[in-house]
Structure 1
């Protein structure tokens, strides 16, 4: 992409500095530029260093015997070595970079480097009226090393767009070549290069008179003005003159009217392949010629010829003007053993109001073609844009609508399970211990109980009393005790007393008028503060993926507590860590950790028909269950006190005969489908709260509804754009498949790291749908094109 940077150094000089420096960045697609400001400090030593460099440059070339196109005047220094000159060159380069890297200029450079890419084609114009700045080799600025397609040009401070009369195309580039005074130099090689240039028609004026030059400029249409011979800049580079023959020299002002007429009639480029052309460039720029190429200093024959030999074929071959100049200039570096600083000499002078001309434009062949091409590109761009927007809109609307009505819910939940299975297994939570009542424990204790109980009240009371000896932080009894056994007068341990301890939480189950009209009441005498409900929620496929932390109980419910067992256990444990929960309708806060609920109606993959009432969150399973010991081990004293001390103890039934078993996302991943005892799931629910508050382990969360829409829209749009940029049907098909795989990988990373469950199935559907619409649209466009072509040739 072509970019233009105009850096204006106004109102100063090297001795005073430039208090205001502006940089304007133009993009080919922008109507207005971006503008940045800075300043440059005074560097009087830079001017002195340049003057020393120039003196040594002439001395070195004189000593090496270089055949200049302008005679080198008597030298003030005759004992200079090439090594000494190299040192001065390095000093000059370092000084220029030090100046342009000064802190006051950094705002401009930082902005440019942020907005420009190394792959951009960049025209950098230094705009100033200070002649000395035009002489400085500012292409040595390290900015140009980092941007290989950037090239420097010079401009005066004042300019206007040239007034050009449109001419008829000739299919040839018209060149007026003035071969001036050739005393001591060889201009025939320049002539040969121009004569052999394909697509050009060159008129040669060999050592002409002023009148002959004037007549050619007035009476003919020229695209390029070329001069080879002797030239010089005078008055410190403020003005210049060319030697057209051995007796006459001309300044630009002496040809002013003729040159203005030539520019109006289409002259777009002047090439002065001669010495010291800065003064010529400054004079000619005042006439608003679009662009020029000049040599900064005295130039040896071979350097001038080599530059022309490399520039003309590249430019005529279609390479952009600035890139052709940079390439030809940089290739001169190979001559610098014999001609030091050869690659410093060529420089562009540009009118910033004009776009660099191309060889095809000079031929006049591309005016209509370019217009047609532009129209075709605009038409194609509009078609592609409409198709992209249409395909994205169709795909996104379809995906969101189908998702809204629950079409994708089952597939989304199954994909969620697959992603959970792909996560690495975590270590068990060491803060929890499960006391399990196994089938062996039940069978070995044939006790008289009231109702269908796994163990008697007496056994449970003994278990609690034994555990309390080991100083647990909190005990959760995940066994219903809605009826009491007949009292055993010989037993001194009372269950009600044990259950009333402050660190014990017992369970109950809320009444639900739809699914459970009865509910399960808590044991008699236990206050509401010591209760936690265990109402379980499973999805239509029977898998438990969510937990309820809080909910309002129905007025007639036997279970009155609004808090779940897992929340009660976690809150009591965290209380000893000096973390007190902040409970609200929409979030629960433990210290700095905020847990947000799934929104009622639509959250993540749950859409219409899913009850998300109460405070529900997703369960972030560890897939590594907490340590377990059996009832018998505790009662027989066969455990270490460290297993219990300061832990959360969960008491529950794991016997196969128990009906308290559930499916989890990991059930299908087992060798045999395995249902998990409820007490283990309660441990997972409790652990995830503790881990979130204490270990920064993520709670699984979802985007808001509008966030899901943007996510689906974004992937649909990306797929449309990628497919649009590829022409082959096979490549488009591969891209669609690759995009779906990339989407799955991104969703996997999201759920692995921040715990974010983003929609994969609807997004994949949107990717395939938008891509398919793009393919059908392209096919229709191609079919229409073939029909048009067939009609043309039928």
Structure 2
């Protein structure tokens, strides 16, 4: 199901700014999300548009304006128009990236996926806002299935008395064509096979109104001269060489046509926003107009591409977007051609498909004959099901192997992890204590006169902290703070050297990204160092745990093991005498627990860099991973010694000024709700200890053939459904039920520690079902 996004602009102006409300919901349902924001004042924005508009009109193309407004081709100023258009686009997007508008942008990105089919409605009466090139909003570049439309703040749904006749009824009005070529428009309409087209060529006013009153029409089409004029920008169409009409002069006839089922009005003529505003008052469901004067060839090409897409089965908005974007091929001669077509939408209506307009909607899958013409020895449905299952399984596995399903599978994984955290609550790990240095701790050090310039923890406070911690005998202390400089406090130097259970951090370099290395504290020897490097996926989420890796020759970090692994090794050695070793396959083993490494094609990952020892990070379901205290609490003796004794103490910074060390997790990837690097390290340490000491499941993936069998099984279910169930409503219900059961199975396996592919298997189920349904229908037709 597609998504509906509405941007409502309340009272405002470019001089004062606009209040904006964003609504997001499923198509045909009430909005599930609503947020308010603001666009600040931008008094220069109408001037930028006016400047571009003047440059565009100076091009002097043969426009479909009124005959007395036609221009003669002058010397080309194409480059000037392109330059001004670029400036307008840049200024417009800068305005939409302002801080006041940021909550709207972030909520959009949170709720909408790039793969979603989205209708974006700009709801405003402000004429200058409607003129701006909203289709050039940089946010839309991430959404190839989204298209903008304009809508009036006032709308209603008109009760329709439409009758179906298996064809789309089109009333095509060819108005005054002096100086322009409308024959191409006529030819394109005549080529439609599922349409009954009636042409009115340069009609008289009474002839037009009689046709509107006397018949039912699905689409109203106009080609010829038109314009918007007057202070209110009202629209006028030119019927013939002597007569012209405003929309208000056709009000009664058009309203009657709407009541009889008119779905779409297309005005393939110039300067149509004035027409659209008046047509919107008549509650016409969908309208397509040209926002500025349109050259002949541009109007003809848009109509050709739109009819090919819409009549070919594409949804209305996608057909408009594709037709509009295909005009880019003409922009060397007709600059900004892709700016011209615009949809005006009645918000009470959902755009129909071409098939729905004709009334050809199947409600039951027909029964085929007893034998398949492809394989006479098998029942036809069985042959179709078998072949379709094999083809879809191969196709889905191919898409999966190429990585085209990776992001959707990772998002499904995140959703399951969040669901798991709601259902199953894990207590914080009693083996860990986190000393979190926050902004208050940093300020307190400054007030004591300690040197914290460029640091979060002064030498004096670090020395005091280590002294107090050591008195209570922790198993290990992890200093998750970069110290690529020598200690200045003479008391700190021997403490860093001699504290045998202290682990420091450094960072490896990576020439591929590139990332520079960070050297370790000079006082801490190599055997007590761990690297702090995280692996994050393209969406910024940390889902993998790096245990060990080989360093680059130029790296300043000599650590072979991760910081989290070094802390876990120290704890396990002291508690159970367990030392790390490696299996013959090169996997890390601690006691009886083996940590199987990922390869480049593991689970939802395809083609990843799997160098080093990587495992999936099985976050604890509680975000409160461990008991947490502040630096001030430790230094002022406010911490119970039992909270330190025999524990791993992690020291790090959670200051809001250290946003670079905040990371997205499956639980949250919003900028202001990410997890600090210190707590991610705690999650990693806890994962290692819990797997060895508590037998908590590690996240593992199936073998390649195991996943293929799983996907094939889902495909077989998709093949059996239309074989056994013939009624379309019941079949739709079965599909939802089966997808739900599939999701529950994948979720249950994830709880047990196995990440199995949900998105590919669901795609295989639905895809096979669709093909079998289609093929069964064809078998019926062939044999009837």
Q: TM-score, normalised by structure 2?
A: 0.51
Matches within 5 A, 1:107-186: 107-167=103-163, 169-186=164-181
3-state DSSP class of the match of 1:259? helix
**Displacement, 1:743?**
12
User: 1:247 Cα shift?
Assistant: 1.1
Which of 101, 104, 107 lines up with 2:100 in the alignment?
Answer: 104
Residue 490 of structure 1 is matched in structure 2 by: none
1:674-753 correspondence to structure 2 within 5 Å: 700-701=689-690, 726-728=714-716
CA 576–264 in structure 1, closer or farther in 2 if over 3 Å, else same: closer
Separation in 2, partners of 1:186, 1:341: 21
Residues 1:134 and 1:363: Cα distance change in structure 2 (over 3 Å): same
Distance in 2 (CA, whole Å) between partners of 1:313 and 1:47 is 35
Task: Provide Cα deviations, 1:542-579, integer angstroms capped at 9, x if missing partner.
Answer: xxxxxxxxxxxxxxxxxxxxxxxxxxxxxxxx999423
How far apart, in 2, do the equivalents of 1:113 and 1:17 lie? Answer: 23
1:684-728, CA deviations, whole angstroms, 9 ceiling, x for partnerless residues?
A: xxxxx98957999767336999998x999xxxxx99997698213
Q: Which residue of 2 aligns with 1:8?
A: 8
State the partner residue of 1:412: none
* Structure 1 partner of 2:33: 34
Partners of 1:230 and 1:693 in 2: how far apart? 78
- Contact 1:194 1:202 survives alignment (8 Å): yes
Partner secondary structure for residue 302 of structure 2:
helix
**Alignment match, 2:90:** 94
Pairs aligned (count): 458
Q: C-alpha distance in 1, partners of 2:290/2:70?
A: 21
From 75, 81, 86, the counterpart of 1:85 = 81
Name the CA shift for 1:87/1:591 in 2 (closer, same or farther; >3 Å).
same
Alpha carbons of structure 1 residues 691 and 618: separation in structure 2 relative to 1, 3 Å: closer
CA separation of 1:346 and 1:578: change in aligned 2, threshold 3 A: same
- Cα contact 1:591–1:693 (8 A) shared by 2: no
- The answer to whether the 8 Å contact 2:8/2:21 transfers is yes
Structure 2 distance, partners of 1:73, 1:592, is 83
**Structure 2 counterpart of 1:669:** none
8 Å CA contact 2:62–2:179 kept in 1: the answer is: no
**Aligned partners of 2:63 and 2:70 also within 8 Å:** no
2:471 is matched with which residue? 578
1:68 shift after superposition: 4.0
SS at 1:44's partner residue? coil
Query: How is 1:586-625 mapped onto 2 (pairs within 5 angstroms)?
Result: 619=576, 621-622=578-579
Query: CA–CA distance in 2 between the matches of 1:77 and 1:14?
Result: 35
1:292 aligned counterpart, secondary structure: strand
Counterpart position of 1:45: 44
> In the alignment, which residue of structure 1 is the partner of 2:206?
211
Query: How far apart in 2 are the matches of 1:290 and 1:692?
Result: 65
Partner of 1:755: none
Matched, 1:253 2:226: no
Query: 1:144 offset after TM fit, Å?
Result: 1.7
Within 2, Cα distance between the matches of 1:326 and 1:276?
19
SS of residue in 2 equivalent to 1:726: helix
How far the C-alpha of 1:205 sits from its partner, in A, is 0.4
- Any stretches of 5+ residues in structure 2 without a counterpart? 366-466, 476-499, 504-573, 583-590, 594-644, 652-681, 701-705, 721-742
Report the Cα distance in structure 2 between the residues aligned to 1:338 and 1:623, rounded to whole angstroms: 69
Q: Which whole-Å CA distance do the structure 1 matches of 2:747 and 2:282 have between them? A: 59
Partner residue of 1:521? none
Q: 1:238 offset after TM fit, Å?
A: 3.1
Contact kept? 1:180, 1:208, Cα under 8 Å: yes
Contact 2:65 2:271 in 1 (8 A): no
Describe the superposition over 1:639-681 as per-residue Cα deviations: whole angstroms up to 9, x where unpaired.
xxxxxxxxxxxxxxxxxxxxxxxxx859xxxxxxxxxxxxxxx
**Alpha carbons 2:78, 2:333 under 8 Å: kept:** no
Instruction: Determine the structure 2 residue equivalent to 1:395.
Output: none
Distance 2:474 2:91 in 1: 64
Offset of residue 162 of structure 1 = 2.1
| Pairs within 5 Å for 1:413-492 | none
Deviation at 1:166, TM superposition (A): 4.0
**Structure 1 portions without partners, runs of 5+:** 371-573, 583-589, 594-616, 626-663, 667-688, 713-717, 733-738, 748-757
Q: How far apart, in 1, do the equivalents of 2:8 and 2:713 lie?
A: 38
Distance 1:229 1:68, change over 3 A: closer
Is 1:313 the counterpart of 2:308 in the alignment?
yes
Counterparts of 1:58-69 in structure 2, within 5 Å, are 58-60=57-59, 62=60, 65-69=61-65
Maintained 8 Å contact 2:65/2:227: no
Q: Distance in 1 between matches of 2:718 and 2:206?
A: 67
Residues 263 and 286 of structure 2 are in contact (CA less than 8 Å); yes or no, is this contact kept in structure 1? yes
In 1, are the aligned partners of 2:5 and 2:23 still within 8 Å (CA)? yes
SS at match of 2:471: coil
CA distance, structure 1, for counterparts of residue 649 and residue 116 of structure 2:
50
2: CA distance, partners of 1:125 / 1:360: 24
- Closer/same/farther in 2, CA of residues 96 and 721 from structure 1, 3 Å limit: farther
Q: Distance in 2 between matches of 1:705 and 1:720?
A: 32
Distance 1:258 1:35, change over 3 A: same
Are the equivalent residues in 1 in contact too, given 2:474–2:648 (CA < 8 A)? Answer: no
Task: Provide the residue aligned with 2:656 in structure 1.
Answer: none
Q: State how far apart, in whole Å, the 2-side matches of 1:363 and 1:3 are.
A: 25
Question: In 1, Cα distance between the equivalents of 2:182 and 2:238?
Answer: 13
Describe the superposition over 1:143-200 as per-residue Cα deviations: whole angstroms up to 9, x where unpaired: 1212111111001111111221242x21100000000011111111100100111201
Cα distance change of structure 1 residues 104 and 722 upon mapping to structure 2, 3 Å threshold = farther
Name the structure 2 match of 1:198.
193
**2:336 pairs with one of 316, 334, 341:** 341
Q: Contact (CA 8 Å) 2:212, 2:253: kept in 1 or not?
A: yes
CA distance in 2, matches of 1:287, 1:722: 54
Once the two structures are superposed, the pairs formed by residues 610-649 of structure 1 within 5 Å of their partners are: 619=576, 621-622=578-579
Q: Name the larger-Rg structure.
A: 1
On the 8 A contact 2:93/2:138 being kept in 1, the answer is yes
The structure-2 alpha-carbon separation of the partners of 1:665 and 1:318, relative to structure 1 and needing over 3 Å to count, comes to closer
> How many angstroms apart in 1 are the aligned matches of 2:280 and 2:717?
52
Is the Cα contact below 8 Å between 2:23 and 2:33 reproduced in 1? yes
Q: What is the Cα deviation at residue 204 of structure 1?
A: 0.4
After superposition, the C-alpha distances for 1:195-247 in whole angstroms (9 at most, x for unaligned) are 11120100000011111111111111100000000001113563101111111
Alpha-carbon distance, 1:759 to partner = 5.9
